[in-house]
Amino acid sequence: EKGGYEHYMLKEIHEQPQALRQTISGRLDTDIGDVDLNLNIPEEYLQSLEEVQFVACGTSYYAGEYAARLFEKIADVRATVSLASEYMFDGGRDPSRTLTIAVTQSGETADTLSAIRTAAEAGARTLAVTNTLGSTVTREVDDSMYIRAGPEIGVAATKTFASQVITLAMLSVYTGKRCGSLSGGRASTLLENMRAVPGAIQQVLDREQQVKAVAEEYADSDAFFFIGRDLGYPVALEGALKLKEISYDHAEGFASGELKHGPLALVTETTPVLAVLTEGSRSEKTLNNVKEVQARGAPVIVASSMENEKFVDELFKVPSAGLFEPLVANVYWQLFAYHVADSKGRPIDKPRNLAKSVTVE
């Protein structure tokens, strides 16, 4: 049932191109530059929208962080992200102009359910973005959207993260078109970029042997630091989460610009730094941060769509995909985490102390 793969996680990493084709299937109309999402959200409501709030936990929270940045760029709507366990409906918001979106693969995460109930009680409109038909969250919200990634068995979320980001990207196009802030031309480009993602991820998957060799070379490092900016920042956080949960190594994600405000003290020759340098991640600035860590002797592993990264220790090529390049780069971090953990013989599909679905607060 693992389709010849040693672990479900590896199978699910490799399923991403197919999962994403399902996610977008029948939903993109490139000719008119719009999406067909089968949602019944009134247009007047979207036109007067003041804020989109994402609530989620773990990997889904990082998908929310990616999506909030897309909403600001694509729909020009103020977007905030809360860890579900920290969520409050703050005063000063007009609930009738707020859309609260629960992002949850399982649809059963207790903290996320609690947050979406808080939003609904305050009077906000609610939407669930989930992989699970008929899950609890879908019964609590005004509208639901399915990410259609197919079942995910490995505890570490992989293909569902990619499908969540693309689903939320479609939703940002939907919102931008209906509130008049997104032109048809720009929307068409975004839809083309979305269509390019499955093929771009396939090219990354085809380079797995390169990633495996690099992962094995650095597996015994003291710690791993992931850095990124803008859309690259949630990918840094997600890369670090994946590595720590399945390898049990110390891994942290930082906003590139924050390194010099503290974390740089941790950087040595035995702490590789993994950086995202792509479109949508302000790579010229992150490049300066890469130089800072190199000056401290840290090995630098870069996932990049740029041409001139010859000075780094390891370079993983990211095919072009516009604002989704950081999402494509994330697949390198998934493979890296997998191969570090596999080289140590970890129980990858069932890491200690963790459950696939967390139904307590």
Residue 163 interacts with ligand F6R (CB under 6 A)? Answer: no
Residue 240 interacts with ligand F6R (CB under 6 A)? Answer: no
Q: How many degrees, rounded to 5, is the angle at CA 331 between CA 327 and CA 334?
A: 125
Q: DSSP string covering 186-199, please?
A: HHHHHHHHHHHHHH
Distance CA(158)–CA(164), nearest Å, equals 10
Nearer to ligand F6R, 153 or 266 (CB): 153
- C-alpha distances out from residue 91 to 83, 113, 127, 141, 146, Å: 18, 21, 21, 21, 31
Which of 77, 156, 162, 277 forms a contact with ligand F6R (CB under 6 A)? 156
Residue 281 interacts with ligand F6R (CB under 6 A)? Answer: no
Tell me if 323 sits within 8 A of 279, measured CB to CB.
yes
Nearer to ligand F6R, 34 or 111 (CB): 111
Site string for ligand F6R, 38-67 (x = CB under 6 A): -------------------xxxx-------
Nearer to ligand F6R, 28 or 168 (CB): 168
Nearer to ligand F6R, 58 or 253 (CB): 58
Residue 153 interacts with ligand F6R (CB under 6 A)? Answer: no
**SS3 at position 330:** helix
Q: Closest approach of Cβ 75 to ligand F6R, in Å? A: 23
- C-alpha distances out from residue 80 to 77, 204, 225, 232, Å: 10, 31, 25, 17
Quickly tell me which residue has 């891994």 as its tokens. Answer: 251
Residue 334 interacts with ligand F6R (CB under 6 A)? Answer: no
Nearer to ligand F6R, 144 or 286 (CB): 144
Residue 235 interacts with ligand F6R (CB under 6 A)? Answer: no
Q: Return the closest-CA partner of residue 276 out of 67, 66, 80, 79.
A: 66
Which residues in this chain contact ligand F6R in the complex, by CB under 6 A? 57-60, 104-106, 109, 112, 156-157, 241, 245, 357-358
